Structure 1
């Protein structure tokens, strides 16, 4: 199955909202999260992301802070493109059908994963990749 990485903007207006979006992306199945740019702000935010996530890998551009970020993230930091993997940057497709077709196309071409910029529609696309699937709305009754 093809993997998905999301590039988030490094400027945030609300820290709580930003970290909630990060947790939602991880819960939705994103494999890797990165931040645009490579300054000190990105390094600090990557540390914050490491603190509120458990599974998602963290993509960083510069190797300098990698050692401390590896420790904070329990070994989930990736510097640049992961070794032995092929990642392709793509725009967000307009709907679920296009999302599924885009993932299948890139997986068929041998890509390990796709990298997309943050968009609020991503959570729904990741949680419900099939056009008619709304299993996230099912309620449990007891």
Structure 2
């Protein structure tokens, strides 16, 4: 969990969880899985997978692979409608839950999925917000921060609006900020590594 600096005039730090939205259509699965493992080791609280309404890849298989290459992050996975309605889904979900040691959660629409795992649903009127009523969590999607000051401001804003977590697209700069939260931000090694 990432600690948010306390608001002025308050001694109470506001914790906000960090979720990383993985690439929607990975071309190189080994690199996609390596990125997921890096964010897991780097301190992210959750990995979010949403391959869109018509994915090229088998989403439950991706979730199972993530369960194997990560060890602590929650895996929040959006199942396409045809997958969510498929016979045998409960057995597939049970297998992934066992592989992940209970870290799986799903993103679903109203009235869908009664498979025994936490379910995130979109918040009505807030297209970028999700809530998990069973867990008392509210998450919001935000863009990749444009530096450490932007990152601090975004986290404080999210906490101030009552969200317990934020979902950020996977990005090397985000990984660096998770790995090195106290770094002042002058990371020339990242600039060299990226070209």
Q: TM-score range by the shorter chain?
A: 0.7 to 0.9
Contact 1:91 1:117 (C-alpha < 8 Å) held by counterparts: yes
CA-CA distance at 1:120 after TM superposition: 2.3
Equivalent residues, number: 135
Alignment partner, residue 99 of structure 1? 151
**Greater share of helix residues, 1 or 2?**
1
1:61-95: per-residue Cα shift (whole Å, max 9, x none)? 23634222111111000122233100011111211
Determine which structure has more spread, i.e. the larger CA radius of gyration: 2
Contact 1:96 1:130 (C-alpha < 8 Å) held by counterparts: no
CA-CA distance at 1:17 after TM superposition: 1.8
List gaps (5 residues or longer) in structure 1: 138-142
Q: How does 1:1-142 map to 2 (within 5 A)?
A: 1-37=15-51, 39=55, 41-62=58-79, 64=89, 65-80=92-107, 81=120, 82=132, 83=134, 84-130=136-182, 132=184
- Report the aligned-residue RMSD: 2.2
List gaps (5 residues or longer) in structure 2: 1-14, 108-119, 121-131, 190-195
**Greater share of strand residues, 1 or 2?**
2
TM-score, scaled relative to structure 2: 0.62
Q: Which has the higher contact order (CA 8 A, sep 6+)?
A: 1
Give me the whole-angstrom Cα distance separating, in 2, the residues matched to 1:127 and 1:101.
18
